[in-house]
Amino acid sequence: MGGMIGSGDARRGVLLLSACLVAACRGGADGGGPYAREVAEAIPRIESATGLMFKRPPTLQVRSREQVREFLVKKFNEDTPTQELVGEETAYKLLGMLPDSMDLRKFLLAVLNEQVVGYYDPATKVLYVVEGADEQTVSITVTHELVHALQDQYVNLDSIQKSTSDNDRLTAAQAVIEGQAQFEQLSIMLGGSDNVALRVGGRDKIREMIRENQSAMPVFATAPMIIQESLLFPYLSGADFVQRYKEQRGKTSPLAAMPRSTEQVLHTTAYFGAPPDEPSVVTLPAPRGATRTYENSLGEFGTRLFLYQHLKDEQDAARGGAGWDGDRYVVLTSAGGRGIVWASVWDSALEAVEFSDMLTRATAKRTGAGEARVATGASFSAKGRTTRILARAAGERTLIVYSDLPDAMSGGVIAAAAIAITAR
């Protein structure tokens, strides 16, 4: 899925794991401690590449593999509340993006445990490194993690990672954090960001690194597409964004003006245009006859992943997600079972129609049910559930409302007419 990897949703549990995915996540030390030479060599290169100066020396502590593993599991449990992860797991299952039998927390912890190499903790301001790290990769990994330590001296990484209400915006911020570390690490390896080899072959180099790591990570290799792509997005699309940022803005820092959506990470004009394409806020009304158990956003990247999951066509998925301008979904529970309602707004009526058509195709493939046309869209019924795709005008905008509900739950559980769209 090459093109999709470079295009575009991550979640908090996934985001924590992404800090350790690439083998470049090892570390350096301050003063005369472990890796002192690597740190001393890397710091001026990082400062020159980023245009930022270290306000204080980075701190590194060497720990055994088991100590680092215990620390990461503890951080995972602290930073990923059970209720949040269960809600996200339920949403992905209702959208057909995770198998019903999967225990998401258990699986993510298995991915985390299979190859622990190091982690920068913004809460303690310490870079933890596994004892006996492979010397052949020390210079690369020191650079990557030192960039994170530098970032944390200018923005509050801990508060960014603990945001829960807008996963799309969180994913965009994580793409800058990991993308900058990945880009600067790679540019230093290749002799500077102006190096032609970086512009021409940088993405291939990153892909090669990730492929090498996948071969050593059998659990990750079995992960559903949504998990794999969400883990890879901050590195690949994030590095692409940082490269475009440097081309457009020179050595000003992308940390000062983070993109506010994955759309802005993916599309040059969405972020750098005058004015930038700011996402709209979609607000869902209180449900009728059901309980709201989880609510969040997919963003353009998540929308692409949903379409690819069911259509298995990268170009269609990218085209179907183009024109996204905001979305919100809610997981609902009642005596009749669980359901989901997902509302998205689009830049133009044409793009809304194209997305709606692809959503209809994806639903037909997923449910195996025949389509029943209704006045404002389509309806599919199978196995005691009904999936509806409806379009409605919202001023000059078009809103697409997707619902997958048990037949015992009213189709009007979320009143489409009460969905609000406001500028951010």
User: String of b and e for 205-221 (b: at least 16 CB within 10 Å)?
Assistant: ebbebbeebeeebeebe
**Which two tokens mark 225?**
């597409």
Contacts of the segment 110-114: beta carbons below 8 A, 24+ positions apart? 110/219, 111/17, 111/217, 111/219, 111/220, 111/223, 111/227, 111/231, 112/16, 112/17, 112/20, 112/69, 112/72, 112/73, 112/76, 113/69, 113/73, 114/217, 114/218, 114/219, 114/220
197 to 188, 190, 200: CA distances (angstroms): 12, 7, 5
The set of residues, in sequence order, having a beta carbon less than 8 Å from that of 154 and lying 6+ positions away, is 52, 253, 255
Torsion angle defined by CA atoms of residues 103, 166, 120 and 6, in that order, rounded to the nearest 10 degrees: 80
Beta carbons within 10 angstroms of residue 304's beta carbon: 28
**Which two tokens mark 283?**
């607000």
| DSSP-derived pairing of the beta strands 291-296 and 324-334 | antiparallel
pLDDT at 201: 57
| Single-letter code of the amino acid located at 234 | P
**What is the tally of helices (H) and strands (E) in the chain?**
17, 12
Beta carbons within 10 angstroms of residue 134's beta carbon: 11
User: String of b and e for 408-424 (b: at least 16 CB within 10 Å)?
Assistant: ebeeebbebeebebeee
Contact 145, 127 (CB under 8 A): yes
Residue extents of the structural domains in the chain: 2-272, 280-423
Torsion angle defined by CA atoms of residues 156, 162, 167 and 171, in that order, rounded to the nearest 10 degrees: 40
Give the phi and the psi of residue 25 in degrees, each rounded to 5.
-90, 75
Contact 249, 382 (CB under 8 A): no
CA distance 84 to 299: 18
- The predicted model scores a pTM of 0.88
Planar angle of CA 182, 141, 112, nearest 5 degrees: 85
**Which two tokens mark 177?**
């954090």
CATH 3.40.1000 fits 280-423, yes or no: yes
CA distance 255 to 151: 8
DSSP string, 30-56: STTSTTHHHHHHHHHHHHHHHS---SS
Contact 144, 182 (CB under 8 A): yes
C-alpha closest to that of 296 among 281, 308, 318, 314? 281
Helix (H, G, I), strand (E, B) or coil at 191: coil
- Over its length of 424 residues, how does the chain's per-residue pLDDT go in tens digits? 333 333 323 333 333 333 333 333 333 344 456 677 778 888 999 998 898 999 998 888 888 888 888 888 888 888 788 888 999 999 999 999 999 999 999 999 888 877 666 678 888 888 877 777 676 665 677 788 899 999 999 988 877 766 668 999 999 999 999 999 988 888 887 776 555 455 545 556 655 666 566 666 788 889 999 998 998 899 889 989 999 999 999 888 999 899 999 999 999 999 999 999 999 999 999 999 999 999 999 999 999 999 999 999 999 999 999 999 999 999 999 999 999 999 999 999 999 999 999 999 999 999 988 878 776 789 999 999 999 999 998 888 899 999 999 999 988 999 999 999 998 7
119: left (phi over 0), alpha (psi -120 to 50) or beta: beta
| Single-letter code of the amino acid located at 376 | T
**Which two tokens mark 401?**
């409302």
Contact 288, 339 (CB under 8 A): no
